[in-house]
């Protein structure tokens, strides 16, 4: 299985390292042609506005949407990746995004970087709890009918799935627990053989 990691900006190296450690082939995605043959795509944390503009400049936004809509590509977005996948961003109608996930997100919902936090999070399907790292994290304030909430905090959902898309507000790639990435690899493998 080949997993692509969007490598325009942000913490893509950490995602690549964790995914490689789980036995998948990893390809850094910088141009539309890099998407050929990937089973899954990770959109990392970083600066969502910058990432969105760079995706547009390189034509990656349309290429990702085409691969997703025409195939079995699974996508996992963390933090900024969640924002890029969201259909709506609260108070930001002009921000570039893919809009593939039927949610509304609120950026920096937990405050600025100095308010970053860690929490032992109850995640559906995982026992024991997952130690989640939140850095300038968004939160979901609206979910569509096909969106399944896998984890939430008092502010709202922070880990959800819609078909072949997973997103988290937190950064599993910055810790040592690989279970979230394992969930994504299973989703990518399942998506490759059948519709979710």
Is residue 187 within 8 Å of residue 196, measured between CB atoms?
Answer: yes
Q: Which residues contact 66 (CB under 8 A, 6 or more apart)?
A: none
Residues designated catalytic: 79, 171, 173
The radius of gyration of the chain from alpha carbons, rounded to an integer in Å, stands at 15
**DSSP tag of 63:** H
Strands (E), 39-147: 40-43, 74-78, 86-89, 101-106, 117-121, 130-134, 139-143
User: Taking CA 141 as the corner, what is the angle to CA 138 and CA 144, rounded to the nearest 5 degrees?
Assistant: 115
d(CA 25, CA 44): 17
d(CA 43, CA 40): 10
d(CA 158, CA 123): 10
């Amino acid at each position: 299985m080949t997993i692509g990691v969007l490598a325009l900006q942000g913490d893509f190296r950490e995602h690549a390292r964790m995914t490689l450690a789980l036995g998948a082939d990893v390809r850094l995605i910088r141009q539309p042609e890099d998407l050929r043959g990937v089973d899954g795509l990770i959109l990392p944390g970083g600066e969502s506005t910058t990432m969105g503009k760079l995706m547009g400049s390189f034509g990656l936004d349309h290429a990702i949407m085409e691969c997703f809509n025409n195939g079995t590509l699974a996508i996992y977005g963390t933090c900024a990746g969640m924002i890029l996948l969201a259909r709506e961003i609260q108070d930001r109608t002009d921000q570039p995004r893919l809009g593939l996930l039927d949610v509304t997100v609120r950026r920096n919902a937990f405050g600025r970087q100095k308010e970053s936090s860690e929490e032992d999070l109850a995640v559906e399907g995982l026992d024991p709890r997952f130690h989640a790292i939140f850095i300038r994290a968004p939160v979901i304030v609206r979910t569509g009918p096909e969106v399944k909430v896998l984890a939430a905090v008092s502010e709202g959902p922070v880990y959800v799935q819609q078909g072949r898309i997973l997103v988290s507000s937190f950064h599993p790639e910055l810790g040592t627990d690989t279970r979230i990435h394992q969930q994504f690899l299973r989703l990518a493998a399942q998506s490759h053989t059948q519709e979710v």
